[in-house]
Amino acid sequence: MNDKWYDYFWTSPPDAPPGLAFGQFTPAHFTALGLVALGVAAIIWAYQRASARGRRRWRGGLGIAVGVMEGFRQVSFIALGIYTPAILPLHACAVATFCVIADALRVNSWAREYLYAVGTWGPLAALLVTDWFAQPIFNIFTWQAFAIHGCLLAYPLMLLVSREFRPSWRQLWKAAIILVVAVAVSLLANHRWGTNFWFLATGAAGSPLQPILDIAGPAYIPVLVLLLGVLWTAMYLPWVRRQTAASRA
């Protein structure tokens, strides 16, 4: 199939015609971000107002949604005959997908801490600095990517807004262990197949990671670890201060 409709809607990302790319920070990209933001806000609003039973359904629904979307991606690449090791679910957001599914099945403190520590900024960064901008805007894989990252971002935010979950620096080690294991597996995969999981081999095109790599050179990964420590400090310090203030009251 080589007709225009197929090229625009169903073509696989590696074969997407360059002239049909929606691009980064274009009107199409901003429109997609606006729709995702509305969807995330609607999920948070509905979850906050739902009963306990309703909230369980929301968690289950999102768990099913992200599982189906990731499964669709995996199966589609196999069916199209273009599956490569780079499609394996080893990126930060893929780990977040497994954490959403785990927590949807049963409240899980490990999964929730990871979803706050990594599963908030990870999907947000993916949405803002997409690595699927070379695809047509109405391509099915484009919207699979926008939709799944929107759901991944909505899940921890709805738990935070509804006050069902409060981050704790004393529990951060749980997220750190998940991250270390995931990164270790990704490093092995990158070495074996020349992939770029967690963007540990090189920065994503158009992202702040590329200039960091250019400046840091061989110290790229240690610099990333340092920057993650700074980010986690900024993310957890307000909660530490709030807990300290509450204990003194």
Look up residue 215 and give its two tokens: 């400046």
Separation of alpha carbons 111 and 203, rounded Å: 26
The per-residue pLDDT for range 210-244, each reduced to its tens digit, is 899 889 899 999 999 999 999 999 999 999 988 87
Assess contact for 93 and 186: CB atoms under 8 A.
no
Question: Which pLDDT value is given to residue 132?
Answer: 85
Half-sphere exposure in the Cβ direction for 204 (13 Å, CA): 18
Look up residue 111 and give its two tokens: 């999964």
* Mean pLDDT value across residues 8-20: 72
**Residue 152 or residue 1, greater confidence:** 152
pLDDT at 14 over 80: no
Question: Which pLDDT value is given to residue 242?
Answer: 85
Question: Which pLDDT value is given to residue 89?
Answer: 95
The per-residue pLDDT for range 101-158, each reduced to its tens digit, is 999 999 999 999 999 999 999 999 999 987 788 888 888 899 999 999 999 999 999 9
Q: Which amino acid is it at 174?
A: K
Which helix (H) or strand (E) covers residue 123, if one does?
Answer: helix 121-128
On whether the pTM is more than 0.95, the answer is no
Task: Grade residue 3 by pLDDT with cuts at 50, 70 and 90.
Answer: low
DSSP category for residue 204: P
- Residue ranges covered by each domain of the chain: 4-248
Separation of alpha carbons 27 and 29, rounded Å: 5
pLDDT at 1 over 60: no
pLDDT at 77 over 50: yes
Q: By CB neighbour count within 10 A (0-12 exposed, 13-18 middle, 19+ buried), where does 6 fall? A: exposed
Residue 194 has φ and ψ, to the nearest 5°, of 70, 25
Question: Which pLDDT value is given to residue 7?
Answer: 67
